[in-house]
Amino acid sequence: MNLLPTLFLLFNQSGSCPQNESPSVRISAMSQTVFENRGHHPENNRRVVFRLINESSKPVIVYGFKFDGEFDPTGYMMSVYKENGEWEYPHPSNRPTEWGEVSPELKSKRVLKPGTAITFIAEMSIFEVGSRFRRTVYLPFNERDVPCEIRGEEFVLK
């Protein structure tokens, strides 16, 4: 298991997210492991474990997908386009997904109390080794606000 340095969730938002009202959260890439995938896509054999920590004095709402007792925050992995060094979205339009376009299945709510954390996993491909990524999540600044995309710091897949 390769440990990654802690990645701080910078408040690099899309849309009209007010930076001065950002919740104080931190996202850490806790580990990267190689595993044997016996499924239909054996090349997907890298697992990155993240931890999202609420470092504020207030609860933070995290939206995501609930399945089999697990919770995966709504968001995605951005990558750096090697030709120009710019961050790319994993969509043909190369733009952030607006909250209104997000499927209802990805809008389950979990309240993260101050000082608490959740962990979640991303499985990635051997073909992506050496590439630069950053994980995004959607967080509102209070329950009445539309969630905004917040980007984490980059990491290199090993």
As a whole number of angstroms, the distance between CA 154 and CA 49 comes to 14
The counts of H helices and E strands in the chain are 0, 11
Tell me which residue of 92, 87, 99, 96 sits closest to 13, measured CA to CA: 96
Write down all domains in the chain, each with its CATH number in brackets: 9-156 (2.60.40)
Residues 6+ apart with CB under 8 A from 2: 31, 32, 33, 158
Tokens describing residue 42:
């054996």
The tokens 């007792």 sit on which residue?
Answer: 69
Confidence of residue 150 (pLDDT cuts 50, 70, 90): confident
Residue 45's CB is within 10 A of a number of other CB atoms, namely 18
Q: pLDDT (tens digit, 9 = 90+) per residue, 12-60?
A: 334 435 555 566 888 888 899 999 998 888 898 999 999 999 988 999 9
Cα separation of 57 and 128, whole Å?
Answer: 37
Least confident of 49-58, 101-110, 149-158: 149-158
